Structure 1
Amino acid sequence: MALTKITLQNFRNHASSQLAEPKHFNLLVGENGAGKTNVLEAISLLSPGRGLRRAPLADLARKVAAGGAQQAFAIGATLIEQGQTSARLGTYTEAERPTRRLVRINGADASASALSEWHAVAWLTPSMDGLFTDSAGARRRFVDRMALAIEPGHAKAVNQLETALRERNRLLEERGDARWLDAIEAQAAQNGSIVAETRARLVSRLSDELSALPAEPFARPILTYRPGGPTTPEELLAEFARNRPRDRAAGRALTGPHRDELEVVMAMADRSPGPPAASCSTGEQKAMLIAITLAHGVLAASGRPSVLLLDEVAAHLDPVRRKALFERLRAGKAQIWMTGTELAPFAEIEEEAAVWRVSGGELERL
């Protein structure tokens, strides 16, 4: 068990909702627009980052009425480990500061990054189906989110790298003090090396998990981490210094971990590399994305509570793949939350699941 006593206050279309006594499988069923995904989004915000929709905070608080005043929202949950309460997690906004997300852990103020020290949250949503044809930046964010669920310190290194690169860009444009530029590049090189190492380590561990999976019924992806430049602090520092004129002209650093790429190809029956994921069919891409998500779930659930959010997954799988998905989820340690417009696709696990009917932002336990 991971989370229980989950509460939503003034979040999206939920005025006041509670999910008590969840199970390993948890199902949210209801019509489109009922508020199912809103529950998953709320749970995703009990982890660092902007949640599964990456929505601005101002869009999350419930409006009193059309055109009405915006309210502050609050999300809370109790974390259970081995049958015992280990923490109370909460995130919220305040009416006077609607664009700042606050976090409390066990009643004390905390940073959002601290949430990942208590549990891991991962998700798969329909909007991620285009990951393989999206930008390299989208795939870097995907890798970073997976890495954060396993190595909580990754967020700090990524944030410090991005901050240093922005400051470097500013100094290059303004032709600022060379000594200050040296110091900023040293920060970027140090944190960039940490980021690159963590990403490479994650992709390697995912590849090990994926290699153990059968090729069917889910297509097996082959992952390759392509660094955007040198990966050691010394080499990165030298690269930044050497490329100052070029980067000044471009207005940005053209080499470094912010240019990393995750390459994905589909494995053939003999396990040799096949076509790039971007050129595979929609069904093959979906199957590979599910395989990556399941492999990551195994890693994230090692040694601490883990939650996996699957939005509208079952309805888009054929019966064979749906059965295989449930079997793998059943064998895993993560707490599972899934959404659907009807119960029929979940017939195989309905008896062992906690089920809520969602309608107009209200929940009814079935």
Structure 2
Amino acid sequence: MSDPVPVALTRLALTDFRNYNATSVELNSRMVAFVGDNGAGKTNILEAISFLSAGRGLRRATLSDIARADGSGGWAVSAILDGEFGETRIGTGLTAGEPGRRVRIDSEEARSSEALLEYLRVLWLVPSMDGLFTGSASDRRKFLDRLVLSLNPSHGRMVASFEKALRQRNRLLSEGGTPEYLDAIEAQVAELGTAVALARSETVSLLAKTLEAQKQLGLPFPSAEIHLQGAFETATIGMSASDREDCYRDLLVEGRFRDRAAGRTLDGPHRSDLYVVHSEKQMPAAQASTGEQKALLIGLVLAHADLTSSISGMTPILLLDEVAAHLDPGRREALFTRLEVLGGQVFMTGTDENLFKDLPSAAQIFEVANGGIALS
């Protein structure tokens, strides 16, 4: 297997994005840190980079809320990317009054943000994910679907279509739709749901193997074991894709009366959960200490970055928001070393420049203040 293609941003520009009027930064390192006080806009920079990929960005914010308060009502993010296709200019943004964001690649408008996945994969770890293991199953499914998306660019569209079909079925049930209409929509739900479930299952299986291999590296982070679990997984274990689809369709038909009474569909992969175990202690991650949960999550993200590089054939861009501040010096140094070995471009944030003293000498450290970004 050939080595993955290195991918890196060499320039980033923001216009009317959050607290930034118009600012740009030249990038010449694979290790980049943004340092500044709380509220200075460090995370806003990471969020801007996250929009250079498919989806809703790392905050999942309403697009209009991202626009600068005293700006035009729209916003834009653009970058120059060095990757598989040489130098590529990519950009995205919102025009005031329009419903969705536009994407341009080398001055040509793309049909959707999914087109960006051909050029780069962006992964992230942010403080809002700290409660992943103790939060809702819905949050863990969204986390898992983001992991799948970096390996399977069509997954986001598949999940959206599945959720749309579920809503249509629920509406038909509530409005007393005929059996013929229900048969038709349930066939769609079963086909789409099975595809979503299989993509998740394959990603979990691949990531579990990567986590096992990572365990042999002796990193100072606890190892995780991961499993996809739920009633749908239990009912369809060991089945072929076609048999899973048939089984799901039968479950939907049998559950019509119950689902009509409940007002929602109670069977399917939309109720699955990502179950994570602290490997060394053989305990659910949800029962681990706060520090252990953070370390488990870092290990998961590192393994996923490694897997993404292997499957996609390109090194991912990794966004780590306030991660260094939660690690002791030994773990922080180990993290930086591992990130360097992985070879992808990494953007980090912190309030203290000393947090990044163990970065390689070629790293860039920027000061963020008053809506500006300056090299330290």
State TM-score, norm by structure 2: 0.91
In structure 1, what is the equivalent of residue 122 of structure 2?
Answer: 121
In structure 1, what is the equivalent of residue 288 of structure 2?
Answer: 280
In structure 1, what is the equivalent of residue 38 of structure 2?
Answer: 32
Q: Tell me how far 1:22 sits from its aligned partner.
A: 3.3
In structure 2, what is the equivalent of residue 255 of structure 1?
Answer: 267
Distance 1:243 1:309 in 2: 43
Q: Tell me how far 1:196 sits from its aligned partner.
A: 0.5
Distance 2:179 2:104 in 1: 41
In structure 1, what is the equivalent of residue 277 of structure 2?
Answer: 265
Distance 2:246 2:116 in 1: 32
- Residues 1-366 of structure 1: pairs in structure 2 closer than 5 A: 1-64=7-70, 71-81=73-83, 84-85=86-87, 87-97=88-98, 99-110=99-110, 111-214=112-215, 216-229=219-232, 230=235, 232-268=244-280, 274-302=282-310, 303-349=313-359, 351-366=361-376
> What amino acid maps onto 2:349 in structure 1?
T
Distance 2:85 2:199 in 1: 32
Distance 2:72 2:362 in 1: 39
Residue deviations 1:57-80 (CA, integer Å, cap 9, x gap): 12100011xxxx652100111221
State percent identity of aligned pairs.
46
> What amino acid maps onto 1:337 in structure 2?
F
Q: Would you say the 8 A contact 2:72–2:96 is kept in 1?
A: yes
Q: Tell me how far 1:93 sits from its aligned partner.
A: 0.7
Q: Would you say the 8 A contact 1:228–1:261 is kept in 2?
A: no
> What amino acid maps onto 1:63 in structure 2?
A
Distance 1:88 1:236 in 2: 44
Distance 2:143 2:329 in 1: 28
Unaligned runs of 5+ in 2: 1-6, 237-243
Q: Tell me how far 1:109 sits from its aligned partner.
A: 2.2
Residue deviations 1:281-340 (CA, integer Å, cap 9, x gap): 001000100000000000112302410000001111011111110111010122100001
> What amino acid maps onto 1:304 in structure 2?
M
> What amino acid maps onto 1:47 in structure 2?
S
Distance 1:338 1:245 in 2: 51
In structure 1, what is the equivalent of residue 4 of structure 2?
Answer: none
Distance 2:72 2:13 in 1: 19
> What amino acid maps onto 2:58 in structure 1?
L
Q: Tell me how far 1:216 sits from its aligned partner.
A: 4.7
Q: Would you say the 8 A contact 1:118–1:305 is kept in 2?
A: no
> Aligned pair in 2 of structure 1 residues 33, 249: CA closer, same or farther (>3 Å)?
same
Distance 2:370 2:63 in 1: 21
Q: Would you say the 8 A contact 2:64–2:94 is kept in 1?
A: no
Secondary structure at 2:130 match in 1: helix
Q: Which is further off, 230-239 or 190-199?
A: 230-239
Secondary structure at 1:131 match in 2: coil
Q: Alpha carbon RMSD of aligned pairs, Å?
A: 1.5
> What amino acid maps onto 1:150 in structure 2?
L
> What amino acid maps onto 2:56 in structure 1?
R
> Aligned pair in 2 of structure 1 residues 193, 82: CA closer, same or farther (>3 Å)?
closer
Distance 2:27 2:171 in 1: 51
In structure 1, what is the equivalent of residue 241 of structure 2?
Answer: none
Q: Which is further off, 1-10 or 307-316?
A: 1-10
> What amino acid maps onto 1:72 in structure 2?
G
Paired residues in the alignment total 356
Q: Would you say the 8 A contact 1:26–1:353 is kept in 2?
A: yes
